[in-house]
Structure 1
């Protein structure tokens, strides 16, 4: 099943999208918003699924052309957005470039931070940047959305709580990060609003490419219409989504609509490219002693997308341009 939210008020207007992303149908008579659907998933998901199947079989007369530009992120705002760093080789590389040692616990216990969730950027919305010197970067990731989970949910139990999946552009302001981390209290100003794919999907849409709590497909990134990277999301993922979900629930109950990110997708095989500018810059520092790739500035465009084995877009495309922020 594929779901999206048209821009409407603060929380969007729920629609169902066809498997090929061509058509959509209103779903507000079942659930006005995606959050409502998640709050009542057991009773409402079968109704949404039935309409999804009818849409794919072209048995509905009230469908309309699907336009991602009309969409907010599937959850325009969320009760909780937490982002991990499941690709530990990425963390190791970044620390190596600045001659920092990496604690052994990084390989056994996931890194995670709680990010801004009171308002996300739409998949086609601009990235508003107040100051180019802040070092604007994209981070291409995968995220899951859970239902209600009790404290102490185990990795084995976590799979049943993953209801939807999305792609992410976790926008980062790299030049603000060092001073914030030096305070010992984590990210804040360096992590502004993230963007998510036009469509959220149920894991079964990935068929055999979803296994062992991982998505076994490349995540493709373009910068200014040129291929930047396409690392395989199932390779080199130290902590799978089941482990990440259990990590979130270790000491607390988790509410429906919680979004959990994978962190920047990264492969040890550097020929696959990267999913963020920081990683490419770190490779340049290691090889040449200095970074030559700049961070994004006004007019730069980033696109993030995942394709199935037939070359069909699964989640739709995140496609954004960096623009000057103009205070209204």
Structure 2
């Protein structure tokens, strides 16, 4: 299945995609749907109000995840590009829900940082709670996969050795367009970012150092993973900071982030205001 969150009537609705139409499931968003242990059967059986896919306003597929846990330096090519050694353990940091935007919303460029970079990423969405999940059992806890661009404010990110302050700017991080269940997607597909028609990143999600099941197991050793939690698995080579000279997002540029089989994020970079 492909599950999306749409904006309608001043709120949001969880929907199932059937070809070129969207069927309401009876929940406010995909995260709320996943909180029901019977979510898969409910979503498959839904016969609610229909909307056309074309022209419908999409929100972040999980608008308010309880946790967004991101992985840094997790593609072999990107690690080598940044001049580092392959890690034994994943580098983790958190992102907050206030950073999320829909798959076609504008990315806000903050006036405080001129070095805003792109990071195309495969995201894993949790569908079943668990703590200390064995890697062999981790697939049972994955509801599906989606696309994220972990847009990063590099000047702020590298002010210190901790990255959080460069990763959590509001209205910066597209997530979607759909949650695709594991029966319709297997990691290993091609991931890309394209800026104003020029390919910046292109790799295979098979190049991950630490794969989805390992990450679910590793992270759940520390904290209980809940339905709707999102794990963002890292970015391949081709980021703007690593280019010579560096290149960053500019006002008006369109960033497209895609993973074959999952869809495309399409976001215009727009200069933000210092007023909040």
Among residues 252, 256, 277, which one is paired with 2:223 in the alignment? Answer: 252
Larger Rg: 1
Are the aligned partners of 2:31 and 2:64 in contact in 1 as well (CA < 8 Å)? no
User: 1:170-185 counterparts in 2 under 5 A?
Assistant: 170-181=150-161, 185=162
Task: State the TM-score, normalized to the length of structure 2.
Answer: 0.89
Q: Which runs of 5+ in 1 are unaligned?
A: 52-59, 267-273, 282-290, 308-313
Which residue number corresponds to residue 21 of structure 2? 23
Q: Secondary structure at the match of 1:176?
A: helix
Aligned pair in 2 of structure 1 residues 27, 129: CA closer, same or farther (>3 Å)? Answer: same
Which residue number corresponds to residue 173 of structure 2? 194
Aligned pair in 2 of structure 1 residues 69, 122: CA closer, same or farther (>3 Å)? Answer: farther
CA distance in 2, matches of 1:36, 1:296: 33
Which residue number corresponds to residue 241 of structure 2? 278
Deviation at 1:68, TM superposition (A): 6.4
Which residue number corresponds to residue 116 of structure 2? 136
CA offset digits 1:302-327 (Å, max 9, x no partner):
001223xxxxxx33321111111134
Which residue number corresponds to residue 71 of structure 2? 84
CA offset digits 1:270-322 (Å, max 9, x no partner):
xxxx3x2234x1xxxxxxxxx22421111111001223xxxxxx333211111
Aligned pair in 2 of structure 1 residues 110, 9: CA closer, same or farther (>3 Å)? Answer: farther
Aligned pair in 2 of structure 1 residues 254, 14: CA closer, same or farther (>3 Å)? Answer: same
Between Structure 1 and Structure 2, the one with more helix by share is 1
Among residues 251, 257, 269, which one is paired with 1:298 in the alignment? Answer: 251
Which residue number corresponds to residue 7 of structure 1? 7
Work out whether 1:317 is the aligned partner of 2:264. yes
Aligned length, in residue pairs? 272
Q: Secondary structure at the match of 2:262?
A: coil
Q: Secondary structure at the match of 1:108?
A: coil
Deviation at 1:11, TM superposition (A): 7.1
Are the aligned partners of 1:12 and 1:76 in contact in 2 as well (CA < 8 Å)? no
Task: State the TM-score, normalized to the length of structure 1.
Answer: 0.76
Aligned pair in 2 of structure 1 residues 89, 225: CA closer, same or farther (>3 Å)? Answer: closer
Q: Secondary structure at the match of 1:180?
A: coil
CA distance in 1, matches of 2:175, 2:216: 18
CA distance in 2, matches of 1:69, 1:61: 16
Among residues 165, 170, 192, which one is paired with 1:220 in the alignment? Answer: 192
Q: Which runs of 5+ in 2 are unaligned?
A: none
User: 1:197-212 counterparts in 2 under 5 A?
Assistant: 197-206=176-185, 210=186
Which residue number corresponds to residue 35 of structure 1? 31
CA distance in 1, matches of 2:201, 2:181: 25
Q: Secondary structure at the match of 2:190?
A: coil
Which residue number corresponds to residue 235 of structure 2? 264
Q: Secondary structure at the match of 2:222?
A: coil
Aligned pair in 2 of structure 1 residues 10, 115: CA closer, same or farther (>3 Å)? Answer: farther
Are the aligned partners of 1:121 and 1:194 in contact in 2 as well (CA < 8 Å)? yes
Aligned pair in 2 of structure 1 residues 240, 170: CA closer, same or farther (>3 Å)? Answer: same
